[in-house]
Amino acid sequence: MQVSDNSSVNSRDSFQSKLGFVLAAAGSAIGLGNIWGFPTQAANNGGGAFLFVYLLVTLLLALPALYAEVYIGNQAQKNPVSALKEACSDKFPMLGKRAGIIGLIGAMMMLSFYTIVAGWMLAHAASALFDFLGFMDISTWLSTSSTLRNALFTPVFILLGATIVHQGVHSGIEKWSSRLMPMLLAMLIGLIIYILQQDGAMEGLALYLIPDFSQITNPKLIISAMGQAFFSLSIGVGGMMVYGSYIKKDHDIGKLVVSIAALDTLIAFLAGLLIIPALFVAQYAGQEVFAGGHLIGEGQLIFQILPSLFASMGDSGLVVSFAFFMLLSIAALTSTISSTEVPVSYLVEEKSFARNKATWLVSLVVLIASMTLVAFFDVLFGLVIQLLTTILQPLMSLFYFIVVGWIWQRGNKLNEISRLKEKPALRAFAFYLRFICPVLLLVVFFNVAF
């Protein structure tokens, strides 16, 4: 426990080490977006060309946005609503508070669909297990999409997340992230080694690693890469901000943020090494995977093509299938806890809730929201994802740039730096964040939304 700042006598739960922070934040970043979203987009958009553009937009825009988000939280040492309010307090305290609440709603939106998809992953992992034990009927039911299955597995997943969050920042989030992230990496590498040995894998590897640069100027590709980068780095809902508030002020935030983005990008890259060759292995084995140069459907990739590939591998396929869906479940779990922490930290710090109560209340609201999505799946599911990733996340990122670059006066080193003469590299960064980032973001935003 440590005292959060000079004005407060309350001790605030926090991460105990920089490594713990990096693993927790990387855990938030690394999720279904990396292991499902990234490879699917890469396979659809010229393989290596997508990878190249993705790296570019991560570096140019997503990384500075992540920096701004973590920096605001770190300086405030408070939950995202209070942190934004404080950063805007000289001129626009209400604007900051409202933006914080919008971010918090974004976190709940993320949880409402993410926990459903995560539930599918758990169900598929359980399906492999029941198949192995010889309960074929249960296994088939678990691998078949149904409302009942959603209504069972979504709550199970929400419960798993709540169990970690209610234990606190150090004893829950940090401890579990430090256990789960190395496990995830080991499973991913094991699966890659296995898949690359199968017939057909090398063709997939070539598509992935040899870029088709004719696709690179396609605006659709740039926009997809941009949305993917913001979602993947968990920017714009306050999860990274609240994690930033749980490490001591004035740690070298820049370096830590770069390590988080590097880990996130590494795992997305590795997931591509697994999924794209696996698709070609399935194709080699006679499955229809691509139609007209495109994957036949996003959902089909994970829930049909890969499961039937695993099934064709006999007993070892069951182990591979279990490991694969556990990998996805773990990735989803560490992302879920960061979004849950946003409203929980707000209720604890601003509304004096006990952590326990706050966690269960938030989980209940998420459960209601996700069950509403399950009930009106066709209308709501895609809509909520669309709203979050194409509107809310980019707009919140723009707000972070404006706060750090323009509004926030007291204690903002970036503002001071931009006036200093003797540190040209830092001045250039401050200039970049204040002037270039908001403009770049607006250009892309208007291309996405309209």
Which stretches of the chain bind ligand PHE, using CB under 6 A? 28-29, 31-34, 110, 231-232, 234, 237, 239, 335, 338-339
Burial readout 234-245 (b: 16 or more C-beta within 10 A, e: otherwise): bbbbbbbbbbbb
Closest CB to ligand PHE among 66 and 247?
66
Closest CB to ligand PHE among 4 and 34?
34
Angle at 430 between CA 429 and CA 431, to 5 degrees: 90
Closest CB to ligand PHE among 45 and 139?
45
Encoding tokens for residue 19? 């490594």
| Contacts of residue 253, Cβ cutoff 8 Å, sequence gap at least 6 | 67, 70, 71, 74, 244
Query: Using CA atoms, how far apart are residues 319 and 129, in angstroms rounded to an integer?
Result: 8
Closest CB to ligand PHE among 260 and 281?
260
Closest CB to ligand PHE among 261 and 289?
261
Q: What does DSSP assign to residue 12?
A: E
Closest CB to ligand PHE among 69 and 349?
69
Place of tokens 């093509």: 305
Closest CB to ligand PHE among 29 and 305?
29
Q: How far is the CB of 103 from ligand PHE (least distance, A)?
A: 10
Q: How far is the CB of 232 from ligand PHE (least distance, A)?
A: 4
Q: How far is the CB of 31 from ligand PHE (least distance, A)?
A: 2
Q: How far is the CB of 335 from ligand PHE (least distance, A)?
A: 4
Q: How far is the CB of 91 from ligand PHE (least distance, A)?
A: 28
Q: How far is the CB of 8 from ligand PHE (least distance, A)?
A: 27
Cα 198 to Cα 184, 195, 203, 288, 331, distances in angstroms? 22, 5, 11, 17, 25
Closest CB to ligand PHE among 280 and 401?
401
439 by Cβ neighbours in 10 Å (0-12 / 13-18 / 19+) ranks as exposed
Task: Yes or no: say if 169 and 2 are a contact pair by the CB < 8 Å rule.
Answer: no
- For 289-295, the CB contacts below 8 A with 24+ separation are 294/44, 295/40, 295/43, 295/44
Q: How far is the CB of 263 from ligand PHE (least distance, A)?
A: 12
Query: Using CA atoms, how far apart are residues 69 and 238, in angstroms rounded to an integer?
Result: 7
Q: How far is the CB of 39 from ligand PHE (least distance, A)?
A: 12
Length of the chain, in residues: 450
Place of tokens 């070298």: 252
